[in-house]
Structure 1
């Protein structure tokens, strides 16, 4: 984090096309703000925790209804999206109701904390009025 940029010279993929390796050179003078493509990664360890990221979107697709307009015509057909993810082992300590920020994903509130490795931690994200949408990308 905050090391600058890395210039990727080679992308290694397996037979299925899944990226398995990146080879590059650290470029500390690079600007995180002007870099087009960003990568977030965690080391592959047994300590990572399973996450279920649940993003909610606005119920209505317009800021303001016109006079006589039926709200049923502007209901958002897709207001919830669930995404599986992995988190750092420090997330074992999250408590229900605790708020956190995931890098490049947004702010979340812990709904279901860590219980056992077979069950994911459930994190919820709601629109805050500043973003166009809160659904997870």
Structure 2
């Protein structure tokens, strides 16, 4: 079995989950997050969450901050998949409609995500995302 090809296919589902998430729908993300493996999340607002239940709870509550009509896309700088571990790193660019805000907010996050095979499915075990800062030279 060519797991790298499977990971490429999986990343299309991951992108779909990200798009749904920024529109307030965490359900597609539920299909790709770790259920058995240890999980961690270092979100754009700072801090860190550990443990599958705590991480999923955070993802669910954070998704409720977004409203329908938001968009998101990944700009993948690098990705690779081995037999049981895979990753991607790059940017997540979004136009986010946030609850209580009249206009969409542009967001660019620096992202690293790590995945592990659970059974035959890739599952998100670590996400680190933080805002891309403009560097003045």
TM value normalised by structure 1: 0.29
Structure having the higher Rg: 1
TM value normalised by structure 2: 0.29
